[in-house]
Amino acid sequence: MSKDVEGQIGVVAGLVRSAFLVDAVYADSAREYGLTQQQGQLLCVLMPQPYGMSELGATLGLAKSSLTGLVDRSERNGLVQRKPDPHDSRAVRVALTRRGAKLADEFYTETCRRIEELTAEFAPEERAALAALLARVVADNKVPSVFMEPDLPR
């Protein structure tokens, strides 16, 4: 295993280590809002619109039983609600409650602020280059929209 040389790391180590860093920031933010990391993810995914359970499972990468447990716990906490699907009487859609939407907005705003701080020392052109490269990684690998861009309207 090679060591970092004068702060230089490769693409693999850089992506893995930055994923751990962002994950830790996200987890800390969730904890401060009384959420599990998975509940924070659920709230952020549901911010733009309600989702059906199968869509939600695919987006979050969760098995049916794990997703059901997550939605059940979030529903008991008053953050989400199940509503009948207008296009399929056998299905439900998961939507934020008023309380869930308020908490999601606060959690999302604070988490974005904390993640933005990770690149606070970057010059604008460095941030733009990083954003462009990450956008290619995300697009090329068809990563679902689990977190909205903070500069876009919600």
Task: Give per-residue pLDDT as tens, 55-86.
Answer: 999 999 999 999 999 999 999 999 999 999 88
Residue 75: closest CA among 56, 89, 48:
56
* Residues of the chain above pLDDT 70, percent: 93
State pTM to two decimals. 0.84
Query: Is 1 inside a domain boundary?
Result: no
Domain that holds residue 119: 17-140
* pLDDT level of residue 154 (50, 70, 90 thresholds): very low
Rounded to the nearest integer, the mean pLDDT of the chain is 90
Kindly give the pairing relationship between strand 88-96 and strand 80-85.
antiparallel
Query: Into how many domains does the chain fold?
Result: 1
Query: Is 145 inside a domain boundary?
Result: no
Query: Is 7 inside a domain boundary?
Result: no
Residue 68 maps to which CATH number? 1.10.10.10
Q: In which residue are the tokens 């008991």 written? A: 76
Task: Give per-residue pLDDT as tens, 14-62.
Answer: 999 999 999 999 999 999 999 999 999 999 999 999 999 999 999 999 9
Query: Is 58 inside a domain boundary?
Result: yes
Quick check: 53 and 91 in contact, CB under 8 A? Answer: yes
pLDDT at 4 over 80: no
Quick check: 90 and 112 in contact, CB under 8 A? Answer: no
Query: Is 148 inside a domain boundary?
Result: no
Query: Is 27 inside a domain boundary?
Result: yes
Query: Is 90 inside a domain boundary?
Result: yes
Query: Is 150 inside a domain boundary?
Result: no
pLDDT score, position 5 = 53
